[in-house]
Amino acid sequence: METPNIDRLAREGVKLTQHIAAASLCTPSRAAFLTGRYPIRSGMASSNRYRALQWNAGSGGLPPNERTFARLLQKQGYTTGLIGKWHQGVNCESFNDNCHHPLNHGFDYFYGMPFTLLNNCQENKPPELDAALQAKLWLYSQIIILAVLTLTAGRLIGLISIRWKIIACFTLVGSLFFISWYSSYGFVQYWNCILMRNHDVTEQPMRLERTASLMLKEAVSFIKRNRHGPFLLFVSFLHVHTPLFTTAKFIGKSQHGLYGDNVEEMDWMVGKILDSLDKEGLKNHTLTYFASDHGGHLEAQDGSAQLGGWNGIYKGGKGMGGWEGGIRVPGVFRWPGVLPAGTVIDEPTSLMDIYPTVVHLAGGILPQDRVIDGRSLVPLLQGRAQKSEHEFLFHYCGSYLHAVRWHQKDSGAIWKAHYVTPVFHPPGAGACYGKGICPCFGEGVTHHDPPLLFDLSRDPSEAKPLSADTEPLFDIVIRKIGRAIEEHHRTLTPVPEQLSMYNIMWKPWLQPCCGTFPLCWCDKEGDSTQSL
């Protein structure tokens, strides 16, 4: 795939080859990125099968008492903006309390999607949100309709002796059942696929054919408006998430199908944003960071076409708590004249490290009333330190600890112990094909005692688990990691689970709406897009 602009960032800056997301799904990973804390500390780690927010009208989200890096930079005089995907919730108790909204988490300006892209956002695509449950609900509804028709026909021709009142009651119950689920799942495009500017809904549903140009226009405009003062801009691309909607001029451009086309369009957008920094004379005064929130989604396929990307030599992918393919992501920093160009760092780093890094650079002070799991990368990036400050990194799948990484600094070894791994389907396939995503618990996982142990410095593909027979340090390593887990658990305190079944349910009274609910439809953007 041709990604000249992302490649240019890497050439002109520092490339991190062992950059680790704190979760393998978007909602918890982004919560950790924004707060510098493992998702389990903020309640953004799930103990059920729903590990990401499901609705704009759910009541869960990033708690208001969490302090994002945007909030800390705001206090340092920075103008802060978020363009693109949020997926950290909107409301708590009413449709306009905005308790989880970006503007309540330190951003001065927000333009984008409070949720995330889904197949449901594009016409003629199979439903993605709770597809298996929807299929069951349709089946139950059809059974109820068939039963009502059978009873009615039997009563009319005298085959069944049943009172009309009973048939009417049965029809009423069936109707209520259908309305109860279809009012949410039948209108996903209207409820979830929306654009907002600050607190106002501007498109409901959003028009995907112009979304990329709108996002780019907003990002460039934010840079231009704030070029004379310190600013923080978080551009959270909707690319490269399914349904991979790609504008016409990039269709067929790559050699790797729709996924490649979408990646190359994103790279073009990256280039336009970098060009705007150059145009405003900000290149040498701006720290630029590029990353992904998790690995490729292996199970996202359309026939033989791979829609969710690939993870190279790394095992597993999106949704898998421990395997490298789900959590090892690109990481690039550029700051001409401050960070040495063309540098490659192989030390373990985390997306959570962005929090203390940008707070340090902005002259802020980290919160003292909570655990911050990230570590400032400034010494490492500038070459003043050779080793990462992380000794242990904990890899969760929802609220379940699946694996732990130990950076043994004296030897350079990177040990990784897997206590739980997903059961691949079919066996040996490397993913959970047919399930959409691998589970974190239950019959879909295998518990390992002793844990599977790998030395990533020698076996980055996690292909050959070590044992006491093949690795003399096996018992020492397992004991060391076990003590680290005990110490880590002592730092955890109970918090409300933001992704509980109640919190992720669709609640009509919380639905963002640009009209009078349920008549939620608008297009305030009109023809405001322009060629970029």
Q: Which of 19, 26, 100, 514 is catalytic?
A: 26
Pick the closest to residue 496 from 30, 106, 94, 66 (CA basis). 66
* Bridge partners, residue 201, by sequence: 196
Pick the closest to residue 400 from 489, 478, 465 (CA basis). 489
d(CA 526, CA 406): 53
Q: 26 an active-site residue?
A: yes
**Is residue 421 a contact partner of residue 402, using CB atoms and an 8 Å limit?**
yes
| Full DSSP string of 154-204 | HHHTTSS---HHHHHHHHHHHHHHHHHHHHHHTTHHHHTS-EEETTEEEEE
450 prior amide bond cis, ω within 30: yes
Q: Which of 87, 101, 395, 402 is catalytic?
A: 87
d(CA 296, CA 209): 24
d(CA 300, CA 302): 7
Classify the C-alpha dihedral 222-224-230-233 as positive or negative: positive
Match 């005692």 to its residue by tokens.
Answer: 449
Pick the closest to residue 294 from 116, 94, 93, 113 (CA basis). 116
Active-site amino acid positions: 26, 87
